[in-house]
Structure 1
Amino acid sequence: SSNSDLTRLDVGRNSAPTLAVLPPSSEELSSTTTATLTCLANKGFPSDWTIRWKVDGTSQKQETSSRVLEKDGLYSWSSTLTLTGQEWTKAGEVTCEAQQKSQTPVTKNLRRADCSG
C-alpha cells in the first residue's frame, strides 16, 4: 500500500489551521495610540475553531473573527487584537491560539523583539 492516503485531505475530518500573527503596522504605531494585531488562520476544518489571544501568557478579550469558506471546502478566518501602544511596547510575546472543542490547540507566537519599530 502507498502512503498517498495519509497526505490526501479528507474534507469532513478535522483539519488544524495554519496560524500567522501579523504585528501592528509602523504607520499605525506612529500615528495612533493603538496597536492592532491580526491572527490569520488558514485551511481549518470545520469552522468552529476558537481563536484566543494571550499577551505574555495572559488571556486577552476575544475580538470578532470573520470566516471565509475556501473553494477546497476548508475555512480561513482572522481575528484581531487591539492593544494600546503602551501595552504593545511592554509586551514581550503575543500568542494566537486556535482550539476546536477539546482538541490540542494550535499556537503561534510573535515576539515583539523580532518586530521592527
Structure 2
Amino acid sequence: RGEIMGVVRPSLTVLLPSSEEQDQGNVALVCLANRGFPEGALVSWEVDGLEVSQGVVTSPEEEKEGLYRRSSTLTLSKAGWEQGELYTCRVSHFQHTQASPFHRSQCLV
C-alpha cells in the first residue's frame, strides 16, 4: 500500500561565483532547490528587486528517492553582474515561497 506524504518544502542553496570567475567574461549564479515533494517547484531570479528571465536556464525536475530537485543558473556578463547589487533566487512550491537574497559585495574579496 502507498504512503500518503504531505508537502515537503525543498531546501534552497545558492552557489556564488568565485573571485576568479568574476574577473573573467561571464558570471554564473546557481540556485539549487533540493529534496522537495511533490514536484512542482518553480525557480525565479531577481536583480535589485526586478524579476529577470534573460540568461536564466532552469533544469527539469529530477526525482531521487521519492523527492524532487531542480537547479537554475543565471548567467550574466561581467558588466551586467557589476550593475546589480541585490541578487535573489526565489523558489515557489505550492503556497510557500522561499527566497535566498545576497549582495554582490558579499562576493568581493
Task: Tell me if TM exceeds 0.5.
Answer: yes
Q: Which residue of 1 aligns with 2:82?
A: 89
SS state at 1:63 partner: strand
Q: Which residue of 1 aligns with 2:15?
A: 22
Q: Which residue of 2 aligns with 1:68?
A: 62
Aligned-pair CA distance for 1:79: 0.6
Decide which of 23, 37, 41 is 2:33's aligned counterpart: 41
Task: Extract unaligned runs of 5+ from structure 1.
Answer: 1-9
SS state at 1:110 partner: strand
Instruction: Note if contact 1:66-1:79 (Cα within 8 Å) is conserved in structure 2.
Output: no
Task: Extract unaligned runs of 5+ from structure 2.
Answer: none
Instruction: Note if contact 1:11-1:74 (Cα within 8 Å) is conserved in structure 2.
Output: no
SS state at 2:108 partner: coil
Cα-Cα RMSD: 1.9
Structure possessing the higher radius of gyration over alpha carbons: 1
The separation in 2 between residues aligned to 1:108 and 1:29, in whole angstroms, is: 20
Percent identity reads 36
Q: Which residue of 1 aligns with 2:100?
A: 108
Greater strand proportion: 2
Instruction: Note if contact 1:40-1:79 (Cα within 8 Å) is conserved in structure 2.
Output: yes
Task: Give aligned pairs, total.
Answer: 105
Runs of 4+ off more than 3 Å: none
